[in-house]
Amino acid sequence: MKNNISKGVFTELVEEFGKKSSFDMFMELDDILKITTDGQKIIRSTGSSVEANHINSSIRNKVNNRFVDIKQEYGRIIRSQEFRQILDKLVALETEMIQSRCFLNIDVKLGITKRVIKSGEKVEYVIARAPFYRPGYVRSELTVYMGGIQELGNDLDKLRNDKKFMSNAYEELRDAMIKEMRL
């Protein structure tokens, strides 16, 4: 369950920068499946008799008409101002809940990352990271730079066992979370 600490329900539904909302993707399925709602699409009948073809066509028309009505009602609801306001409020509340869970369960992980500095030189850094949800970010984690491997070394097991280092990493992540949460 800890892997899902930075996942939400409503936060996954709404549109973000570079990502369509789940509602829009759901509504666009008809285009992908090439479903028409004009009743003109020809469907092969699985029955061989004229009566079976007529029943298939009659049922298909009923389903098609109902589908059109349901899709229109669904579209009206999800595009309504009232629904949008409720959804925005749920997203805001859920975001705070997810961030609070992450803050209350800071799980520090260490890693090494490479960066190219202005001179073109590649420098390796020790990073500390923890799960944390931030709307608009691809990764649901927060990362802080702890220092270069020149001064800290690259033995992550040794650093994990260093209580003072891990306490410092925890505090850095905690402070970054507090800043993100605007506390």
Nearest to 160 by CA among 115, 124, 113, 107: 107
**pLDDT in the model for residue 95:** 93
Ranges in the chain, pLDDT < 70:
1-3, 15-18, 32-55
Q: What is the pLDDT of residue 57?
A: 76
> What is the model's pLDDT at position 42?
42
Residue 1 has a pLDDT of 38
**Could you give the CA distance from residue 131 to residue 104 in angstroms, rounded to a whole number?**
11
Q: What is the pLDDT of residue 164?
A: 97
Q: Residues 147, 153, 157, CA angle at the centre, nearest 5°?
A: 105
Q: Which helix (H) or strand (E) holds 153?
A: none
Dist. CA 131–CA 99, nearest whole Å: 9
Give me the pLDDT at residue 58, please: 79
- The full DSSP string for 89-112 is HHHHHHHHHHHHHHHHT---EEEE
**pLDDT at residue 6 in the model:** 76
pLDDT of residue 22: 81
* CA–CA dist 146, 162 (Å, integer): 13
Tokens of 156: 């992550």
Q: What is the pLDDT of residue 36?
A: 61
| pLDDT score of 80 | 93
Q: Which of 99, 112, 110 is nearest to 172 (CA)?
A: 110
- What pLDDT does residue 117 have? 84
How far, in Å, are 34, 75, 114 from residue 53 at the CA level? Answer: 22, 32, 66
Per-residue pLDDT tens digits for 162-174? 999 999 999 999 9
